[in-house]
């Protein structure tokens, strides 16, 4: 049985006219004799509206009721898609996560899919039906509805592709694919034809919003090829796949940037073994994600300046936690919200010397000062002044010939 999983995002099903177009896309695949499993998000804006309603009801809205509430948006979209397919003469019905069932762990709001039972769906596929399955949701051992976090419909689609051994998983969205950088910031950005899981994971983690990092990680672990394409234009998209499937790659595949970083510097920290752990442990316990870290030891070895980056929204909490931390001593606490991170990503840099020099030189030519640096095997990130972010992206895009 040749199974293809099709997933449609919120913008793709955002209006009745768009749902009718989605139904046409689905029937185009059905005419090619594929067995289809369709996954849908809620109509655009619906989930946000439900979240606002929960906050208006209570500042401490129950997590389990939150899941029951926000998962309802997918039910509406799935029913409308199935209804349109029935109108067009196809056998179809909507399926909620608990009806499949899609079994998750017991964690509400950020559940993980543990198991998908296939019997009912396989029987329905063999009968000629097109199941429209609600993304973003499942059911736990207690029979309560759970949700998989924002962007969870992608994760639903990828796990369905895994359990049903689908030939393809196609993510339909409002963009034509993954670009070398954000097209809104650089008009010369080009669509990437093929990208590795690892590169896509780095780009998503660093600000590319095409897919959530957790969904890409699921695809990587399950070795599911994922194609990202537009539901509005009939053009090839971007294939996310294994490294060995990619031929004739560039050294650098893409450039990512962030806009909501803040830099924190502790000046004159009394240096001793474990001081960094003492600084970061209470931040971790408060779910504050620390990204780039740099430490400068004084000449006498007794003090250090420690700089790290966080998200802007965590700045006030970080200041309060750090100032009240009795386990560390420092002279001054500095904050800077006028910073952005720009990163180059590419598995080609593993075997290519001089990439770091080329990046730094390209920025230096444009008089862009680097404040903090962090690296991984396939990524180099630098922190710069926010006003230079577009200039930096343009310079790096040209340096690594991503426009060609």
Question: Is the per-residue pLDDT at 258 higher than 80?
Answer: yes
pLDDT-above-90 percentage for the chain: 79
Q: Please state the domain extents for the chain.
A: 3-174
At 259 the pLDDT is: 84
Would you call 328 exposed, middle or buried from its count of C-beta atoms within 10 A (0-12, 13-18, 19+)?
middle
At 271 the pLDDT is: 83
At 207 the pLDDT is: 65
CATH class of the domain whose range is 3-174: alpha beta
HSE toward the beta carbon, residue 125, CA cutoff 13 A: 22
Q: How many CB atoms neighbour CB 107 within 10 A?
A: 15
pLDDT band, very low/low/confident/very high, at 351 (cuts 50, 70, 90): confident
At 72 the pLDDT is: 97
Question: Is the per-residue pLDDT at 156 higher than 70?
Answer: yes
Question: Is the per-residue pLDDT at 213 higher than 90?
Answer: no
pLDDT-above-70 percentage for the chain: 99
Pull the structure tokens for residue 372. 């903090």
What's the whole-number mean pLDDT along residues 185-192?
A: 90
Q: What angle do CA 326, 327, 329 make, to 5 degrees?
A: 80
Q: How many CB atoms neighbour CB 206 within 10 A?
A: 21
Question: Do β-strands 372-376 and 303-311 pair in parallel, antiparallel, or remain unpaired?
Answer: unpaired
What's the whole-number mean pLDDT along residues 342-353?
A: 91
- Per residue in 22-53, pLDDT tens? 999 999 999 999 999 999 999 999 999 999 99
Question: Is the per-residue pLDDT at 183 higher than 90?
Answer: no
At 246 the pLDDT is: 81
HSE toward the beta carbon, residue 108, CA cutoff 13 A: 15
At 175 the pLDDT is: 87
The pTM assigned to this predicted structure is 0.84
Question: Is the per-residue pLDDT at 248 higher than 80?
Answer: no
- Per residue in 95-138, pLDDT tens? 999 999 999 999 999 999 999 999 999 999 999 999 999 999 99
pLDDT band, very low/low/confident/very high, at 150 (cuts 50, 70, 90): confident
At 1 the pLDDT is: 83
- Per residue in 305-347, pLDDT tens? 999 999 999 999 999 999 999 999 999 999 999 999 999 999 9
Question: Is the per-residue pLDDT at 287 higher than 90?
Answer: no
- Whose CA is closest to 8, among 44, 58, 34? 44
136 — phi, psi (to 5°)? 75, 0
pLDDT band, very low/low/confident/very high, at 299 (cuts 50, 70, 90): low
At 123 the pLDDT is: 98
SS3 285: helix
Average pLDDT, the chain: 93
- Per residue in 59-75, pLDDT tens? 999 999 999 999 999 99
At 114 the pLDDT is: 95
What's the whole-number mean pLDDT along residues 257-277?
A: 91
- The answer to whether the beta carbons of residues 225 and 240 sit under 8 Å apart is yes
């Amino acid at each position: 049985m040749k199974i293809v999983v099709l997933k449609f995002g919120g913008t793709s099903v955002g209006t009745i006219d768009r749902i009718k177009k989605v139904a046409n896309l689905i029937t185009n695949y059905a005419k090619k004799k594929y067995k289809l499993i369709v996954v849908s998000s809620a109509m655009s804006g619906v989930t946000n509206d439900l979240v606002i309603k929960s906050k208006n009801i209570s500042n401490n809205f129950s997590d389990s009721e939150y899941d029951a509430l926000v998962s309802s948006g997918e039910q509406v979209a799935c029913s409308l898609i199935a209804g349109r397919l029935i109108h067009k003469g196809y056998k179809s019905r909507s399926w909620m996560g608990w009806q499949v069932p899609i079994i998750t762990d017991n964690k509400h709001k950020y559940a993980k899919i543990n198991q998908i039972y296939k019997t009912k769906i396989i029987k329905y596929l063999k009968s000629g039906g097109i199941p429209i399955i609600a993304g973003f949701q499942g059911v736990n051992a207690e029979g309560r509805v759970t949700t998989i976090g924002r962007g969870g419909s992608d994760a639903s689609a990828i796990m369905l592709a895994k359990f049903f051994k689908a030939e393809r998983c196609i993510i339909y969205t409002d963009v034509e694919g993954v670009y070398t950088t954000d097209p809104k910031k650089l008009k010369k950005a080009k669509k990437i034809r093929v990208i590795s899981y690892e590169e896509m994971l780095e780009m998503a983690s660093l600000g590319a919003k095409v897919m959530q990092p957790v969904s890409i990680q699921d695809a990587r672990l399950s070795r599911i090829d994922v194609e990202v394409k537009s539901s509005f234009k009939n053009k090839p998209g971007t294939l996310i796949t294994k490294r060995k499937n990619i031929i004739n790659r560039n050294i650098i595949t893409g450039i990512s940037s962030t806009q909501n970083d803040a830099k924190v510097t502790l000046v004159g920290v009394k240096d001793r073994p474990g001081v960094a752990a003492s600084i970061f442990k209470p931040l971790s316990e408060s779910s504050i994600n620390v990204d780039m870290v740099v430490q400068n030891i004084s000449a006498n070895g007794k003090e250090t300046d420690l700089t790290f980056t966080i998200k802007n929204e965590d700045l006030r909490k970080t200041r309060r936690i750090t100032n009240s931390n009795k386990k560390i001593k420092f002279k001054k606490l500095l904050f800077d919200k006028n910073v952005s991170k720009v990163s180059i990503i590419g598995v080609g840099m593993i075997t290519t010397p001089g990439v770091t020099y080329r990046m730094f030189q390209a920025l230096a030519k444009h008089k862009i000062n680097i404040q903090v640096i962090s690296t991984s095997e396939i990524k180099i990130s630098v922190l710069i002044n926010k006003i230079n972010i577009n200039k930096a992206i343009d310079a790096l895009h040209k340096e690594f010939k991503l426009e060609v």
